[in-house]
Chain A
Amino acid sequence: MNAPADFSQAGELVCPAGTPAALRTAVDAGADTVYCGFQDATNARNFPGLNFTLPELEASVAYAHARGAKVLLALNTYPPAGKFDLWRAAAANAARLQVDACIVADMGVARHIATEHPGLRLHLSVQAAASSPEAIRYYCQHFGVKRVVLPRILTIPEIRAIKQEIPCEIETFIFGNHGLMVEGRCSLTSWLTGESTNMDGVCSPAGKVTYEEDANGGLRSCLGGFTIDRFAPDETAGYPTICKGRYAAPHRPEGYYAFEEPVSLNLARLLPDLMGAGVHAFKIEGRQRSKSYVRKVVGAFRAAVDAVRAGATPDLADLVALTEGQKETQGAFQTKKWR
């Protein structure tokens, strides 16, 4: 096995790669690290036509390593009993192909890798929902986790406080789709479709999604036959995820976004504060997005992180066109009132 990769530089940009072409695009656009998954239920973006075969991952690791970039493999779903072998095989392949770390959520998977592949670095996925110093320390203490990806529910002062009490690096999401539920604790998709986010790696699977245009140019998005939202002709649309749907409650008969509107996270303006709070790595969401998205978002954040590192004010490219509903939010990071 090669020498372990160097993860020591703060401000690491961790970028999504849904396909080998997207991985090369991310590396070329300045990603320090890319993350990806196999074409199966072992990762939380198990979408049709996406992800990597073994030969593709092998070639992609070589491409990234030759350019000084690191590759993380997402093994961040929860194996249902009886199917653990699939995750076991994925971990063995990750070790063999010399990925630089695995991103895990399940305790059984974490323990398996810690015991069977002790040279393989572990990151704790956001799917593990570790949102307190105690929870994070549990995974560090028992499985040797080196980095935690924090749930998108904490304010910057809270992140700073957590950093004081944990022995590992912190990675936070800075851009992309903004899930509302605690990750790894959501069975909404499973309830409506029979396919599980935790066990199958899907969220609103495309096979259960339909879009219908009405005579007036309105758009109805459905999941498993249930109407999730209706968009007027000039209204921007979002993914048909249950937590971004419009519903009626007894005192809200007109219908409202009960959980959240279709918006995306964009923390470009908070980068200096996040670095000041002790965040080590910045994660961009979007393995299901195109090369075009990867090129634009990674390029913009590469320039922004470099500017912050140099003590300059980042020139923030307008990324709003790439966001869901074409609206941005700073979510929980800016204020407790989000809760």
Chain B
Amino acid sequence: MELTLGPLAYHWTPERRADFYARIADEAPVSTVYLGEVICSKRAPFFEREIPRMIERLTRAGKRVVLSSLAEVMLKRERQATDGLMEIEEHEVEINNAAGLLARGGRAHRVGPFLNAYNEATIDWMAGQGATHVCLPAEMPRDAVAVAAQAAATLGVGVEVQVFGRAPLAVSARCYHARAHGRTKDNCKFICEDDPDGMPLSTGDGQPILRVNGIQTQSESYIELLQELSGMGALGITHARLMPQDVDMVAVAHVFDEVLGGRIDPDEGRARLSAICTGTSFSNGFWHGEAGYRHISRRADAA
């Protein structure tokens, strides 16, 4: 099983993005890096300018680069951006909206987590239309993942699941960052740049619960599937995805790499991860078919 770095969900500054991907290129033990703006088409022009340089940097370091498409396609600029991306042949693309599927036709592509590949029938259909690799929705429980992964293996399709980072929980046409600041999406002034790890929301009881990232809603806690990692290969999962958060992602990737390689045990990995992600709690409820926010200790039910 290989580690991948999923697409950056946040609106980081150009300097920060450049530094981040340079370090990933040089130091992170991930085989594949997904690049591109998936959440907000208003942010995309900033990112796009830098992407050729990032691709060059990452491929020189031996990483495979996959370009990810927008999750929501409604406006003209979003339709054009999606169509344009689907014309690219020199790099693989990961499609996150059915509009991209139409433009891509039968040519090879990856299926992103926003395309809802929940079952064997859908994966079979997608494979017949050129899908070579599927990232499953984060909320799928282990039992369903196992069946989906077996079906995908038979079709020769790669299967990826998110093992680290905030859970992507919803997208909307409305920008909640803008709304929080009394603005509209068209007049947002990129206020989301102020929250490189999302804007926290707490319940009326002061309990942190969600994060706002523009039009996206994410979980407060990070998904963390270190304990589950060793069993994933046997299920037919080929890739484990780390989502970029505002923490030392190179260190995060090393922890996952070492647990995957059996050089440290999951408990030690988790202790290290806690030290890297100070102040953030971990969740694995989705994997265990429970409320996503929960963290289930698997000593008892590891089988």
A binds B: yes
Interfacial residues, chain A to chain B (CB-CB below 8 A): 78-84, 105-109, 111-112, 128-135, 137-139, 141-142, 151, 153-154, 158, 180-182, 184-188, 190-194, 196, 198-199, 220, 224, 226-230, 242-243, 245-252, 255-256, 258-260, 332, 336-339
B116 and A84 contact, CB distance less than 8 A: no
- Give Cα A83–Cα B176 distance, bound, in whole angstroms: 35
Report A-chain residues with C-beta under 8 Å of the C-beta of B138: 187
Chain A residues near B186: list those with CB within 8 A: 336-337, 339
Q: Which residues of A contact B171 (CB under 8 A)?
A: 181-182, 185
* Extra 7 A-B pairs, beta carbons < 8 Å, given A131-B173, A247-B210: A135-B101, A138-B102, A153-B74, A182-B171, A198-B116, A229-B204, A251-B180
Chain B residues bordering chain A, tally (CB within 8 A): 76
B169 and A182 within 8 A (CB)? no
User: How many CB-defined contacts (below 8 Å) exist between A and B?
Assistant: 233
Q: Known: A107-B126, A187-B169, A192-B291. Is A80-B119 also a contact (CB below 8 A)?
A: yes
In the bound complex, CA of A185 to CA of B116 (Å)? 8
The interface residues of chain A lying within 8 Å CB-to-CB of B83 are 134
User: Bound state CA distance, A193 and B292, in angstroms?
Assistant: 7
Taking CB as reference atom, which chain B residue is nearest A197?
B139
Are A78's CB and B119's CB within 8 A?
yes
| CB contact between A181 and one of B118, B120, B170, B200 (< 8 Å): that residue | B170
Contacts of B199 in A (CB 8 A): 249-250
Whether B120 contacts A182 by the Cβ 8 Å rule is no
Contact of B72 with A by CB under 8 A: yes
Contacts A/B (CB < 8 Å), 9 sampled: A81-B147, A82-B119, A132-B73, A153-B74, A182-B170, A246-B204, A255-B204, A332-B174, A339-B173
Contacts of A193 in B (CB 8 A): 291
Give complex CA distance A190, B118 in Å. Answer: 15
Q: Which residues of the partner chain A approach B169 to less than 8 Å between Cβ atoms?
A: 186-188, 190-191
Chain A residues near B294 (CB-CB < 8 A): 194
Verify A81–B101 contact, CB threshold 8 A: no
Is B121 interfacial (CB-CB < 8 Å)?
Answer: yes
Say how far A42's CB is from chain B's closest CB, in angstroms.
Answer: 13
Q: Which residue of B lies closest to A243 (CB)?
A: B170
Whether the pair A187, B137 counts as a contact (CB closer than 8 A) is: yes
Given the complex, which residues of B lie within 8 Å of A220, measured CB to CB?
204
Separation of A187 and B171 alpha carbons in the complex (Å): 10
CB distance from B139 to the nearest CB of A (A): 4
Q: A81-B119, A153-B173, A182-B170 are in contact. Are A248 and B291 (CB under 8 A)?
A: no
B204 and A230 within 8 A (CB): yes
User: Min CB distance, A202 to chain B, in Å?
Assistant: 13
Cβ-closest 9 pairs across A and B: A108-B121, A153-B173, A108-B122, A134-B99, A81-B147, A81-B148, A80-B144, A191-B292, A135-B98
